[in-house]
Amino acid sequence: MTDHQFDIVVVGAGMVGASFAALVAGSDWGQTLRIGVLEASPFAMPDLSDSFDPRVVALTATSRQLLDRVGVWQQIADRRACPYRRMAVWEADGTGHIEFDCAEVRQPNLGHIVENALIVQALLQRLGQLPNVTLLCPAQVTGLEREADSQAVIIRLADGGSVATRLLAAADGAHSKVRELCGLPLRQWDYGHQAIVTTVTTEREHGYTARQRFLPEGPLAFLPLRDEQGDCHHCSIVWSQQPEKAAELMALDDAAFCRALTRAGDHCLGEVVAVDKRYAIPLWQRHAVDYVLPGVALLGDAAHTIHPLAGQGVNLGFQDVLVLAEEVQRSLSRQLSPGELNGLKRYQRRRKPHNLGMMVTMEGFKRLFESRGLPLRLLRNDGLKLANRLGPIKNRLVRQAMGLG
């Protein structure tokens, strides 16, 4: 006998898991479903009244539309979401550069930079408003079983409790316990880099422009932020470095780090005048060989993680959410279980090629810009300058990055 019975259980209440639960529970077709959301860590809403979350995402138009569809985007935008209207990318080891402008593709912006914590807060508040959603937290998954007669998935919890569900949607991150318990094999490799992430204050306003400079040691991104008062002197940085160099930078005091960052950023915003607490995150690429089993589907980082080079990680996860919800709806319309294997396999077939394609592209860019050889340096510089002059090609690139096809 289980303690709880649901139609769908989502493991992981981060951006991807919470958005999937909110999308299904709030849809016309999902309002009769019983949905459970399990989170291993206690819910703790950070106080961001006078600070920024160091972890941010660059939301595409498609991801913003998903958040709007589940009823949280306006709340996020009213708090602080910074649109970026331009993007500048340039090569440190040469003269190659390319610039994108939202006006060239007739859009109000290229995307939004939003703190992870703001999105999670809004989604959790939304889940609390949905009568068919039950939040179980802390709820640490320790085992999985399949009920022979009903084919339900039984989830065993660390406190001795258990939960039964017809579909287990695993959005429990890169080190997914569900993926491990299911025995779903994983291909992974170390990028050999760490990402230093933090928030900085700069001498000049960012002008709603996202900037990325490719250095020999790794890319450096300045992503624009805007506080509640409209101050545009703040940026989130993602600085990819080899572990030894990352350790050196992390050991610097704030003043020395600001000077090093100013030099690395080519003084693009004048001096970096202040820095918040820094974090160094090891970078790995991971991809599950299979995303699904009968009654189980992996979502987001549980299925795939990529280099943060283009800020596409969570956007891929949000696309997983949209497609899995469509396939669950299709199965239910045929009076089938939401965890019916053929429907889950369709989800895998639709998402796996796209995710793999993005991973290959990011790996190619990483290797291209890491090379110090003269032929590739010339190719990089000439390629960036040529693409910058060719409007149709540049516009197609930016529309794809925005999720507009």
218 compared with 160, residue with greater pLDDT: 160
Classify residue 33 by its DSSP letter: S
Enumerate residues 6+ apart whose C-beta is below 8 A from 269.
202, 203, 204, 205, 206, 211, 222, 235
* 8 A C-beta contact, residue 283 and residue 194: yes
**Is it the case that residue 374 has pLDDT exceeding 50?**
no
What is the C-alpha separation between 129 and 21, in angstroms, rounded? 12
Domains and CATH numbers, the chain: 4-401 (3.50.50.60)
**Is it the case that residue 181 has pLDDT exceeding 70?**
yes
List b or e across 171-185, with b for residues whose CB sees 16 or more CB atoms inside 10 angstroms.
Answer: bbbbebbbbebbebe
Average pLDDT over residues 222-230: 93
**Which two tokens mark 15?**
């951006």
Chain position carrying tokens 């709030």: 26
* 8 A C-beta contact, residue 303 and residue 313: no
Task: Tell me, yes or no, if the pTM score tops 0.85.
Answer: yes
The packing angle between helices 374-389 and 341-370, to 10°, is 110
pLDDT value of residue 191: 82
What is the C-alpha separation between 35 and 70, in angstroms, rounded? 15
pLDDT value of residue 267: 96
Mean of per-residue pLDDT scores for the chain: 88
42 compared with 123, residue with greater pLDDT: 123
pLDDT value of residue 366: 56
**Is it the case that residue 6 has pLDDT exceeding 80?**
yes
**Is it the case that residue 149 has pLDDT exceeding 50?**
yes
